Amino acid sequence: MSTTSTTDKSIAVDARPRRKATAKAINARKGGDPIVCLTAYITPMAARLDEHCDLILVGDSVGMVLYGMDSTVGVSLDMMIAHGRAVTRGAKKALVVIDMPFGTYEESREQAFRNAARVLSETGAGAVKLEGGAEMADTVAFLVKRGIPVLGHVGLMPQSINSYGGYGAHGRTQEEWGPIISDAKAIAEAGAFAIVLEGVAEPLAVKVTGDVPCPIIGIGASNRCDGQILVTEDMLGLFAINPKFVKRYAEIGGDIAAAIETYADEVRTRTFPAEEHTYKMKVVKA
């Protein structure tokens, strides 16, 4: 009897029980082997990432990547839950973490708990992520004490883009270091199992990684962080815009465009569908 199920003909999803990564296990990786993290929003991508990633983030970047939004601010809790369900179906090994979207946790720690509990119970994910520094420490502690693992996020925080006025890097002068270091320490002391550090100057990233006791996962930071995360579609070259901190490991945007052009040409010239793609009549014996 087969132990695999298939989401499409190129992805075999192992249906056997596998030991899943946990927030506690990720926390124990501080100073050890680098933690590999990428984003996913759909089952097939999660299945492809699962063998290679320690942590898969269902990021609120889904708003920009899949829905064409200008920022992450318009992403709803229902959207995150729907995509979270899809990702947990494909991820059997990696820890799945789901972003808490803007407006679902800032009002009070009780609001944060209600929404985070809903996210975990309705998706089967292992943790939530929320943005914010010292001002969110009490909320992080409240969630952790009630059994909800939290991945923090400091430095450049995309949900605060309307306050920043842009996506520029932070901590490029030493005068800017203090608040970011304090934010990271406060979130770690509150019980976050790890912290995403985004868009900061490399020396600051090295300082935060050395000073903070939980793993620091960099994006636009330093290779001396405890791990790295990127938006998968960015590193695969799906979009024309390429942030400075992204290395493109493929150019699937061009491949997709070429494939669509070839398909359109073959439809117009009636070379597709060909004989091998067409059903024939059954031969009925008399």
Cα distance between residue 140 and residue 209, in whole Å: 20
Q: What residues are designated binding site?
A: 60-61, 99, 129, 131
Q: What residues are designated binding site for 3-methyl-2-oxobutanoate?
A: 60-61, 99, 129
- Which one, of 135, 133, 54, lies nearest residue 91 by Cα? 54
Cα distance between residue 85 and residue 89, in whole Å: 6
**Sign (positive/negative) of CA torsion 111, 214, 232, 199?**
positive
- Which one, of 60, 85, 88, 95, lies nearest residue 227 by Cα? 95
Residues marked as catalytic: 198
Q: What residues are designated binding site for Mg(2+)?
A: 60, 99, 131
Phi, psi of 194 (to 5 degrees): -165, 165
3-class DSSP assignment, residue 235: helix
